[in-house]
Copies of this chain bind each other. A is one copy, B any other.
Amino acid sequence: MRIGQLAQLVGVETQTIRFYEQQGLLPPPDRQDNGYRVYTEKHGEGLAFIRRCRILGLSLAEIHELQSYQDDPHQPCTAVNALLDDHISHVRSQITALQALEKQLVSLRASCNDDREVEACGVLAGISEGNMHQL
């Protein structure tokens, strides 16, 4: 299987596959005489694993860490669970921050309507006056 087929199968671009190889997330495949990469099913699974991790929001470094655990299957999986717990709390704090932000933006938006000139715009005034407790 060549790189284009693998890319289509998993739904990524060929450059992304080369990029993962370069980053050490995918093992370097064998090459044909002409230099073309030849992939096996194993590579497909590895790539799918990476993609699923990315969909879950894990960083390449975290994926690398997970792979290192997979390479040593008789350890306890405490570290895997801890990694996920950390990620969950990271996601939760992002949600909380964004919800606070949304509230702020909505209240800022409520301070203006479309019938004003920029000079009297409540939104711009709200940002400029700095009645935001963060600053």
B-binding residues in A (CB < 8 A):
10-11, 45, 48-49, 51-53, 55-57, 66, 69-70, 72-78, 80-81, 84-85, 87-88, 91-92, 94-95, 98-99, 101-102, 104-106, 108-109, 112-121, 123-124, 127-128, 130, 132, 134-135
Secondary structure at the A interface, as helix, strand, loop or mixed, is helix
Do A109 and B88 touch across chains, with their CB atoms under 8 A apart? yes
Q: Report the minimal beta-carbon distance from A92 to chain B, rounded to whole angstroms.
A: 6
30 A-B pairs, CB-CB below 8 angstroms?
A10-B135, A45-B128, A48-B130, A52-B135, A55-B135, A56-B108, A57-B101, A66-B124, A66-B127, A69-B121, A70-B124, A73-B117, A75-B118, A76-B114, A76-B115, A76-B117, A77-B117, A80-B121, A80-B124, A81-B109, A81-B112, A81-B114, A81-B121, A85-B109, A87-B105, A91-B105, A92-B102, A94-B98, A95-B98, A95-B99
